[in-house]
A and B are shown apart, each in its own frame.
Chain A
Amino acid sequence: MSTLENKAVNPAADSSKFVFVKMDKDRTEHIAAPKYSYWKSVFRQFFSSKVTIATLIVVAAIILLSIFQPMFSGYDPVAHKNINDAATHFITPNFSNIKYWFGTDSLGDSMWDKIWLGSRNSMAIAFIATGITTVLGVIVGAFWGYSKSFDKIMLEVYNVFANVPFTLVVFVLMYILGSGFWQLIFAMSVTSWLNTAYFIRVQVMIIRDREYNLASRCLGTSTWNIIKNNILPYLVSVIVTSVSRDVPSFISLEVFLSWLGIGVGEQVESLGRIISFNTTYMSGTPYLFWIPVAMSAVITVTLYVVGQGLADASDPRTHM
């Protein structure tokens, strides 16, 4: 209060006390805000939870084992090397038995080898299908939300297929295409991208007409550049959320379809196939059945937890 009054009383200050400063180009560019890097904040947030880190370690171990174990085991799902050696059939899991410490099944195949090859294929199917669904869904969804004329056509297409039960589509497609690895991926992604696209469309429509996008458009920025530079960065957390939901649900779907006998074929090992093959041994030698079931549950639960952690961390609102 007093300083203000002083200023008012003495407007002409002693000019010798002041020095002219040259304009500093770097400084003028500096905005007075704390340093913020999106991805740094995402990772800081992500690694702040102990549960997430623990699950991430489990996920990493599972992924690494399922990539490398089948490379060195030399296990071939159709060879059944020990089929004529009855002594190797139905060996119960035993930690002291290094060769078969998850036991062997009715054909003498090592469950340890089977599980990892199965996990690899199940996860590969889920990851590839999620990749296709997400890439296609995000690209189409971004244009769909941005362009009003494209919206009209796409809405009609969406209305025709949106309410058809997803499992029905996959069932019928698997019937038509026949069972197999790539067939399953195709059947899973062929309609699910439409849902991702619709999900993205709604998000894009929310931010499409914000002022900064309007300004970009006035300055003549192309649609593609607006989508790429202005809109997509906004959608990162939404996309991560969608991916984190898709991967576990595709794994569950693979398990379900292969268990019914319409998923991957006889030639391909997968968790669903192993469960399906061993369902008959559920009462006699239950480990054959419960090991792959537990494995599928562990994989989906850990992936889901990590995915949720990543989705939460990628939401800028949690970075405050």
Chain B
Amino acid sequence: MRKYIWGRILRSIISIFLVTTIAMIMIYTQIPREKIFKNDSTYTKLGGDADAKTEYKYTKWEKLGYLDFVEQKDMCAVYTGSEYNACMEVDSDAVKTIVQDYVNKGYTSAVYTKNGLAYVYKDKPVLNIVWNFYHNMFQLDNPGRVTDPDNPNLERKVYAGKDYAGNFAIMCSGCDHKYLLYFDGSFPWIHQNFIMFSLGTSYPTYDGQLITDVIGTGQGTDVMTQKTFETGQTSKSALLLHSCTYKQTSTLDRLDKNKFNDNYAYCSSQKSDPSMISQSMLFGTLALLIAYVLSIPAGMSMASHKGQLRDKIGTVYINFMIAVPSLAFIFLARVLFSSLFALPDKFSILGAHDVRSYVLPIITLALLDTSSIMLWTRRYMIDQSSADYVKFARAKGLSQREIFTHHIMRNAIIPIAQSLPSNIILTICGAVITETVFAIPGTGKLLPDAIKAYNNQMIVALTLIFTALSIFSVLLGDLLITWLDPRIQLVDKEGGAV
């Protein structure tokens, strides 16, 4: 069994790797790289300045891994003083020879249309981007990570100590993060920064932010609370002191120095609203809970009254829910319920801190989930109801009710339980239509938004996340049913007895 699970995990990882790599290769070869600037406000602001636009584009492309870009000022950097200035002349002899060197190495040379300065670039293979993505995915934080020429005396050590609040923590000097292991009041109470997980940087939307941060950190406005810093200064601040990372000495300002004794002054802030992931999960799990509570008894009741009125009504409902496009249903539910109960039809009207914002989307989502759960509960219960053990139970004189709730239900629930983990986990992916219609800031909107903005990095990261989640949730579902029902074997036993 253990061998089987490890095999499945390995296959899952291969699967995720293949799917993500295929997606990445297709995206980076098929999407014209000019397109990524379509929605970049910085690029648009450059207006008619052709040279600045060219420089911006090539710098961005180099950063994203498309190509290698060398400007005249980089080429002339080998010289100093007057020689540098001579080299920086348009069409200077010095730069000509350097450009020729680059051209011999396979670079393409070009000049800025206005100022006439030279630059060269060379396309990198797509595999370069793919390699960078996987290479940077997991990084180990270690005391040698920080390079800061202005702080040569930086101590490099990992040590156990007490954090700012007096709790035990493993801390580091020289690492990116100050706190490698710490405890606090938020789930899952124990946090680590030894291994940093990165899915790249978002561009052009959420420009410069890590994608994991876009999805996982809070949204909304900063929440200021009274805080005492390690220097003894107390002030109202939103900084999350456990999140602090190293800030280069050259960028440290007076405010930082007032608050911190060391260079770990780059901290994220406490936000008022939940992150995209928690927002989507909150909606999804609550809706799922309601859906299960409503539809399992409904399916049971349909099965035990098969062919009667309630079964027929239920079947009409199920077919209606399956056939009607979710888009139509969601809009209809929004109009109906918001006028019936006088509830806001957009999440943003009352915001994340008002219960009323949650009612409509959750009811809508729950109703969307009910049809399939009802359908399968009914189907499995009817399948089971002709089994021998049911006849035996009936012969023993058990009531129909007892047979259904105790005997059939326990068997019929197993295939339903198989989809439970994936239903819960996939709430992370969010409900695309519901979140768009109700304007909920969750993960569901992220992928269509990224597609419209040509945010390649985000699309690749989301492909990886969604694929991984769905593949592993299927595995979890399989494990759950073997635990619920020991008769189910995922591996064929030696000798063929299954």
Give the B-binding residues of A (Cβ under 8 A): 159-161, 163-165, 167-168, 171-172, 174-177, 248, 251-252, 255-256, 259-262, 272, 275, 282, 289, 293-294, 296-297, 300-301, 303-305, 308
CA distance A300 to B320 in the complex (A): 9
Q: Which residues of chain B are near A297, meaning CB under 8 Å?
A: 323-325, 328
Looking across the interface, which residue of chain B has its beta carbon closest to that of A249?
A: B322
A168 touches B463 (CB 8 A): yes
**Smallest Cβ-Cβ distance to A257: which chain B residue:** B448
What's the dominant secondary structure at chain A's contact region? helix
Q: Beyond A160-B19, A305-B319, list 16 extra A-B contacts (CB 8 Å).
A: A160-B15, A161-B19, A163-B15, A164-B15, A168-B462, A248-B323, A293-B327, A293-B328, A293-B331, A296-B325, A296-B327, A297-B324, A301-B319, A301-B320, A303-B323, A304-B323
Which parts of B429-484 form the interface with A (CB within 8 Å)? 429, 432-433, 436, 447-448, 451-452, 459, 462-463, 466-467, 470-471, 474
Determine which of B327, B470, B471 lies in contact with A255 in the assembled complex, contact meaning CB atoms within 8 Å.
B327
* In the complex, residue of chain B having the shortest beta-carbon distance to the beta carbon of A251: B325
B451 with A256: CB separation less than 8 A: no
| B31 on the A face (CB < 8 A) | yes
Contact in complex: B26, A255 (CB < 8 Å):
no
Residues from chain B with Cβ under 8 Å of A176 in the complex: 26-27, 30-31
Expressed in whole angstroms, the Cα–Cα distance for A201 and B269 within the complex equals 54
- Please indicate the chain B residues that have their CB under 8 angstroms from the CB of A161 in the complex: 15, 19
Nearest A residue (CB) for B24: A172
Interface string of B325-338 (1 = CB under 8 A from A): 11110011000000
Interchain nearest-CB distance for B36 vs A (Å): 12
User: Judging by beta carbons under 8 Å apart, are A301 and B436 in contact?
Assistant: no
Contact A261–B325 (Cβ < 8 Å): no
Query: Are the C-beta atoms of A300 and B432 separated by less than 8 Å?
Result: no
Is B466's CB under 8 angstroms from A168's CB? yes
Given A163-B471, A163-B474, A171-B447, A252 and B452 contact (CB-CB distance below 8 Å): no
In Å, the complex CA distance between A301 and B320 comes to 7
CB-defined A-B contacts under 8 Å, sample of 29: A159-B11, A160-B14, A160-B15, A161-B15, A163-B467, A163-B470, A164-B466, A164-B467, A165-B429, A165-B470, A168-B462, A168-B467, A175-B459, A176-B31, A248-B322, A251-B325, A255-B327, A256-B325, A256-B432, A260-B436, A275-B327, A282-B331, A293-B332, A296-B325, A297-B323, A300-B324, A300-B325, A301-B323, A301-B324
Query: Judging by beta carbons under 8 Å apart, are A262 and B452 in contact?
Result: yes
Q: Shortest beta-carbon distance, A182 to chain B, in Å?
A: 16
| B23 interface residue per 8 A CB criterion | yes
On B, residues with C-beta under 8 Å from A are 11, 14-15, 18-19, 23, 26-27, 30-31, 319-320, 322-328, 331-332, 426, 429, 432-433, 436, 447-448, 451-452, 459, 462-463, 466-467, 470-471, 474
Closest chain A CB from B365 CB (angstroms):
15
> Nearest residue in A to B8 (C-beta to C-beta)?
A159
Is B467 touching A165 in the complex (CB atoms < 8 A)?
yes
Q: Which residues of B contact A301 (CB under 8 A)?
A: 319-320, 323-324
The residue in chain B whose Cβ has the minimal distance to the Cβ of A168 is B466
Judged by DSSP, the binding face of B is helix
Partner of A172, one of B11, B320, B323, B459: B459
Closest CB of chain B to A123's CB: distance in Å? 13
How many angstroms from the CA of A251 to the CA of B463 in the assembled complex? 24
Of A262, A272, A294, A304, the residue contacting B319 (CB under 8 A) is A304
Report B211 CB to chain A, min CB distance, Å.
16
**Nearest neighbor of A163 in chain B, beta-carbon distance:** B471
Asked if B448 contacts A252 (CB within 8 A), the reply is: no
- Chain A neighbourhood of B15, CB < 8 A: 159-161, 163-164
What is the bound-complex CA distance between A171 and B467, given in angstroms?
A: 13
A261 to B448, CA, bound (A): 8
Q: How far is the CB of A188 from chain B (nearest CB, A)?
A: 15
For the complex, give the distance between the alpha carbons of A297 and B329 in Å: 9
In the complex, A256→B433 CA distance in Å?
8
CB distance from A282 to the nearest CB of B (A): 8
Q: Which residues of A contact B432 (CB under 8 A)?
A: 167, 256, 260
B27 with A160: CB separation less than 8 A: no
* Closest B residue, CB atoms, query A252: B325
A172 engages B452 (CB within 8 Å): no
Is B448's CB under 8 angstroms from A172's CB?
no
Query: Taking the nearest CB of chain B, how far is it from the CB of A59, in angstroms?
Result: 12
Find out whether the CB atom of A262 lies under 8 angstroms from the CB atom of B448. Answer: yes
List B contacts of A275 (CB < 8 A).
327
Inter-chain contact B27/A172, CB cutoff 8 Å: yes
Chain A contacts for B14, CB-based, 8 A: 160
How far apart are the CA atoms of A251 and B391 in the complex, in Å? 44
- Shortest distance from the beta carbon of B451 to any chain A beta carbon, whole Å: 5
